[in-house]
Every structure is written in C-alpha cells, then in structure tokens.
Structure 1
Amino acid sequence: MHDSPGLMPPAVSGRPTRIVVDLDHLALNLRNIRAHVGVPVMAIVKANAYGHGLVPVARHLQAQGVEQLGVAFVEEGIALRQAGVTTPILVLGGIFGPQVAQYIAHDLEITVSSLDKLRQAEAAAQAMGRKAIVHLKIDTGMERIGVHSYSSAAFIEAAVASSWCTVKGVYSHLACSDDPASPMTLQQVERFHEACAHFERIGAPMPLRHLANSGGVLHFPETWLDMVRPGIVLYGVLPDPASKRTIDVRPAMSLASQVVYFKVVRAGHTVSYGATWTADHDTRVVTVPIGYGDGFPRSLSSRGEVLIRGHRYPIVGRVCMDQFMVDIGGDSAWNEDEVVLVGKQGDEAISAEEVARLAGTIPYEILVGLNDRIPREYRGGDTGR
C-alpha cells in the first residue's frame, strides 16, 4: 500500500505539513464583529497573529479598513512598519525604557502603565522633538500592568498635562469575560468608568476608551465603549468552553499534513517512545510528519485524533519531535494521503477548541504554539486562490 500515489500534491514548500489561512474567513469575521458591536475595531495580531502569520494577516486586515492594530511587543510593531503597514498600531505590553525611542521613531502608540513610564515616554519624545502617542493603562482587577483604578487620578492628570505625550486612549483588560456567568467583568466595567470619570472632573477631553477583548465582544455589550479589541475570536475560535457563539465567526486556520509511511503493527507490539501503547490485535499504523518540534502538543499522545479520508482515527503512542503515529485499524491509507489535524475533511471536522480540550490546555496555546517550521499558505483575499 505504501507505494501508491496520493490524492493531493505536496505543498509548494516541499514539506507535506502546512497551515492554510483562509483570508476570506478572516474578513468575514471582521465584518461580523463590526456589525455586532457597532464601534471601531482594534484587531489584535500579536504572537504571529495567533499563529496565522503577522505580516500577511495585518496587511489583509488593513485592506479591509480595520481602524487599529494591536501587538504585544515593539518588535512586532516594527516588523509591521517595515512591511509597509500604515494602520495605527498600539503596543499593548509594558514598555522597557531603552526601547521607547523606537516606538516613536516607528510611529507606534505606547501603553503607558505608570507615572514612571509616562516620564520615560516624555523624555524620549522631548529628546527626539516629536510627540509620543500614548494610551493610559488602568488596572481594574487583572493585576498585571497598569495603575490601579482607585489611585489613577494623579496619573491621569499628569498625562493630560504632558507637553510631549498625546493621550489618544485609555484602557483596561478583562480577566474573566470568556465566561458570561462571571460577575467580575461588570465589576471591572464599574471600576473603569470610575477612573475615566476623572477626565471629566478636570475638564479634559475623554480619550478613546477600549475595554472589550474577545470575551467582552461575545458576551458583554457594556464593555464595547469606543472601540473593541478582538483577539482569538477574530480568527474564528472561541476563547473558552464557557463562551457562547453570539457572532457568526469561522475558523481561519486549518492544519494538515500527509501520510509518509504505512505499516502493519502486530498484536503485542508497542508504538513510539516509552512503549506506552500496545496493539491488542494486528492493526495498520501510518506515520505523519509533524510533532512537538512544530508546536503540535506532546500531550495529545494517545489522546488526539486526526482525519484521513474523511474518517477519525486516534493518535497512538507518544507524539515525537517531528512525527507521530495513527492507528487506522483495518482501513486503507496511502502515502501522501491528506491528514487533517485542525480543520474539515469530508463531513468531519476537528476544531482548535477540540484539540485544546484533548491536550488539556486552551485554544490560544494551540494556535500560537504552531511555529515557523510549518509553512503557511494563504487563500482568498487578494491571493487569487
């Protein structure tokens, strides 16, 4: 069986394993999120656009007219500017003093999360003779970065009075919005409004207020305010098993490989490292060339499933660094047959949410863990495919 030609050609890169990103689904998700919330969108493209590819995704979102992009680190913002992306970009992470000049030089908006960080931004801007565009980070319960909402008055006053910083936005981050039943989100909304009220008390114009992450977009209209910041839901994946599909979003990513080897494993023989799985009868096993070295979780050992010829089959034995094995029982499979790890094949589908559940983690980790060893292909949009 293993010498038969396959059903599909190998990927352009030559590697049989590939990620396919559907840009039309990405555009659809953006449209439906916009229609749902009725306010501008800051599309979050950090962590290689949740594994979908930083530059191609950002370029496509810019072509869709997205109002703002959000990244985690200054390096991500610089990469986008060097790729010709001109959409406003906010760096969401905490700033590191020596890097502040790079934000300003590349027209990146700065998260200012303390009075000290404000002074660093002011000093860099003054030295360059160019104003810094900043968003003030208010901590309403995440306890990560940001000035506590209950002690933010002096911070807000200093930012408004700054000669070298222009306050474009003020924001916070929701800790529990993925669960629509959590009471914490509305507590955070209240704390955020209390902090923002200080702009009115001192007669300052209200900056752009943004609070909603994916969970907020899905579940809490109270968080939509002046702009929303969808992350994982923009890519068509729900953030948590408790999340509700209140918007029609479709997965933008599929992950597939191909069969590279076929064998019969006799009853009593074991498969893979540690001999953790034993065949209880003669069975057919195929090998798939992707492993934890690509970011495919080792925790799926003897737990995960794949699709071959429209049927589900179990991963058996430990996932290796570069390969894993699949038990197809008495069925047939040929070398180069498509193997779907995330996505649809025939009438069957495996979602990122399902993979995360079986791996004992969250969908975010599945998506962002898929590294650059895996080539990415883009379909739809302006690719002409």
Structure 2
Amino acid sequence: MSDPLSQRPTRIRVDLGAIGHNLDAIRAHTGRPVMGIVKANAYGHGLVPVARHLEARGVEQLGVAFVEEGIALRRAGIRVPILVMGGIFGRQAPEFIAHELEITVSSIDKLRQVEAAAEQLGRPATVHLKIDTGMERIGVHSYSAAPFIEAALASRWCRIKGIYSHLACADDPGHPMTARQLERFLEACAHFERLGAPMPLRHLANSGGVLHFPETWLDLVRPGIALYGVLPDPASRPALPLRPALALHSRVVYFKVVRAGASVSYGASWHAATDTRVVTIPIGYGDGWPRALSSRGEVLVRGIRRPIVGRICMDQFMVDLGPQGTAYNEDEVVLIGTQGGESIRVEAVAKAAGTIPYEILTGLNERIPREYTGGEPAMAG
C-alpha cells in the first residue's frame, strides 16, 4: 500500500536547481564565501534536502538556529561546517562539541560554560563571538567587547573561528542603521589588532546586506531568504537574478453553485452578490496557510487569478470562480508559483496577509508533502 501522504493533492515543490542558481549568483555578486542559512526547515523548503544540495554545490558553511537542527544535519551525513546561531544553555554545550557544531558564544558566562564542557570532554570547541551592534537580542554590546574578546583569546579550550553581528535594517537600502552597525562592529573587531591577535572570520551581511550594502560583506556572507529566491522586504531592490525555489500547489476537491445572498464559511462574513461558482481547496491554516488571507488572498485556477472567499478553515478554503468561471474536480490550483502566464509570488501572499515572506515560508508545516527537483539524487518528503 502506498504512503497516504504521497496521495495528498496539496504539495510543496522545491526546485533545488533554483537554490543552486541563487547560491552561484550570490557568490558572483559578492566574491565572498557563503554561509547558507538553513534554519527553520530551510525557510520551509526542507532542512536536510536543501543542506545536502548546498553541500554538493560546495557551500563553505551552513547556519542553523538551534542545536537540534545541527544534530539533525550531522545525523543525515552532512559534514560541512555548521554554525548554530541561537543562544545556548550551558547543559547543551557537550552536544555541540560531540557533533562538531560551531557555537555562538554571546557572553563571558557562555564562554566559561563552553570552555568547561570542552575541557571535560578533552576536545576543543569551535566558537564564533557574537557582538550586539543594535539588535538588542543576544551578544555582548560592541562598546563592552574588549574584555569579552580578551577572555576568549585567553581560553585554552575555545578556538575562535569567527566574530559576527546581525543587521537590523539592511532589508531597507535607505536605512541609516546599517552604517552605524557596521561602524560599531568594526570597532569591536579592532580589539584583535590592538591585542596583536589574528583576526577571525568576520561576518555581518544577511540577505539585505548581500543585496544592498557591499561594505558589510567582509570575510563571509550569510544569505537566508535570498538564497531561496525571495526578497526580504518590499523596500529591497532585486539586485541579483534570483529564482524562487518554492511553489505551493493543490487541487479542486469540490465544486458547487452558491446562490445570490448565500454566505460562505465560518462567521458568514462573505456573501455572494449573485449566483456564482465556488470551489473548495483542501489546505488551510492547519497547514500554515494564513487565516489572514480570508477574503483577501488569490489563487490561480486554469491560469486565471481567483479570489479566496470567506474565512479560511483549518483544512480547507473556498475560491470564487465567478458566474461563468469553470473548473473541475482535481484541477490544479496554484497558491504560490506559476500557472499559464500568471504568477503569484510569496512576497504578494505576505503583503495580502499583512506579514512578511519569512513568516509565510516558515509557517508551511510538515503536513504538506514536499517534492524536490533539480538535485542529485532526486528526493521526496
């Protein structure tokens, strides 16, 4: 008997070739080594398949948010260096070291915890020092970096591979915050020179930095959403020939005629102005398709944009074909992607939902099967 998930009409299709194309475009644009960010299930594209493809394309480093993601990659056989960028708990430190994961050290206290774990295991830890230049998230403030760097250099069990910070406003090419953050970061890095110590790998540029701020590229760039062919913000400039890697498709599961004046879905918030044809699509907010798209989003049916009507349900939503529109059960419906001569980009979906593309992509959960093309070997999930 076949896997029931393989029969679900709702599917995510990931073009690994597009991700490889974007990696090449970013390399050509920046001339820098790349840390491919694959946290949050590779922005909804699939952690292990994407990481395998990036490794096969020679990416220099991978970045994840949590130690669990790093361990999952190691267990899948990924050998490329992996930096865990999130804050850590002291009791997790041995797991980082055991799985050869690079650790973000964000304070002297965290440094001591990592150092103690490494000494106990008899294995040095590879660390990246996190400097806070304006996010106020994790990391030592740039103006307090000197004693932090001195402590790290004095550590017998911590090998400093990198030093980094995170840009808060680089998605907007006109925002002055990026210049201030770069200045603060470089001032913190200068402590290595003052102490006569070798400069570690400096990395600062996220997708916005890659697109808009060449001065932030430094020694390595860390593209996230741009790697998947998506612009991080409406203010972003399409400075590179990026190709979207993810498409979301489903199929018509039901067709009906709704009489004029009848309401559709929960809350009776939408009423048909005239007799109209409505189809039901088997995906909902339980899959991560935002309820905020209720009576606001669009899909493609037979190459024509059609509006979502009524409230999106947990597992289904309805689409108005109009009085003369035609569709049959099992016709393909495109939520993100291209059909005929029309396309719906994830940026447009995010705008309609009042959110950002990151939230749309990472919200698409594991209920939706994923299919992969353009990679070696072909994979499905």
Q: Normalising by structure 1, report the TM-score.
A: 0.97
Corresponding letter in the other structure for 2:80: T
Aligned to 1:368: 362
Is 2:254 the counterpart of 1:261? Answer: yes
Query: 5 Å matches for 1:173-322?
Result: 173-322=166-315
Task: Return the alpha-carbon distance in structure 2 between the equivalents of residues 53 and 270 of structure 1.
Answer: 38
Aligned to 2:343: 349
Secondary structure of residue in 2 paired with 1:66: coil
How far is the alpha carbon of 1:384 from its aligned partner?
5.3
Task: Return the alpha-carbon distance in structure 1 between the equivalents of residues 107 and 374 of structure 2.
Answer: 43
Superimposed CA distance per residue, residues 233-257 of structure 1 (whole angstroms, 9 cap, x where no aligned partner) = 0000000000000011110000000
Runs of 4 or more, structure 1, over 4 Å off, are: none
Task: Return the alpha-carbon distance in structure 2 between the equivalents of residues 59 and 381 of structure 1.
Answer: 9
Superimposed CA distance per residue, residues 46-88 of structure 1 (whole angstroms, 9 cap, x where no aligned partner) = 0000000000000000000000000000000000000000000
Task: Return the alpha-carbon distance in structure 2 between the equivalents of residues 294 and 51 of structure 1.
Answer: 12
Secondary structure of residue in 1 paired with 2:159: strand
Corresponding letter in the other structure for 2:163: V
2:61–2:83 contact (8 Å) kept in structure 1: yes
Task: Return the alpha-carbon distance in structure 1 between the equivalents of residues 16 and 194 of structure 2.
Answer: 45
How far is the alpha carbon of 1:12 from its aligned partner?
7.5
Query: 5 Å matches for 1:1-385?
Result: 13-329=6-322, 330-383=324-377
Q: Can you give the 5+ residue segments of structure 2 that lack an aligned partner in the other structure?
A: none
Corresponding letter in the other structure for 1:298: R
Percent identity (aligned): 75
Task: Return the alpha-carbon distance in structure 2 between the equivalents of residues 301 and 109 of structure 1.
Answer: 43
- Judged with a 3 Å threshold, the aligned counterparts in structure 2 of structure 1 residues 12 and 121 are, in CA distance, closer, same or farther, namely closer
Q: Can you give the 5+ residue segments of structure 1 that lack an aligned partner in the other structure?
A: 1-10
Secondary structure of residue in 1 paired with 2:94: helix
Task: Return the alpha-carbon distance in structure 2 between the equivalents of residues 368 and 384 of structure 1.
Answer: 22
Q: Normalising by structure 2, report the TM-score.
A: 0.98
Corresponding letter in the other structure for 2:360: I
Corresponding letter in the other structure for 2:310: G
Coordinate RMSD, CA, aligned: 1.1
Secondary structure of residue in 1 paired with 2:6: coil
Corresponding letter in the other structure for 1:156: I
Superimposed CA distance per residue, residues 8-31 of structure 1 (whole angstroms, 9 cap, x where no aligned partner) = xxx970000000000110100000
Superimposed CA distance per residue, residues 121-179 of structure 1 (whole angstroms, 9 cap, x where no aligned partner) = 00000000000000000000010000000110000011011100000000000000000
Size of the aligned set, in residue pairs, is 376
How far is the alpha carbon of 1:382 from its aligned partner?
1.5
Task: Return the alpha-carbon distance in structure 1 between the equivalents of residues 71 and 40 of structure 2.
Answer: 14
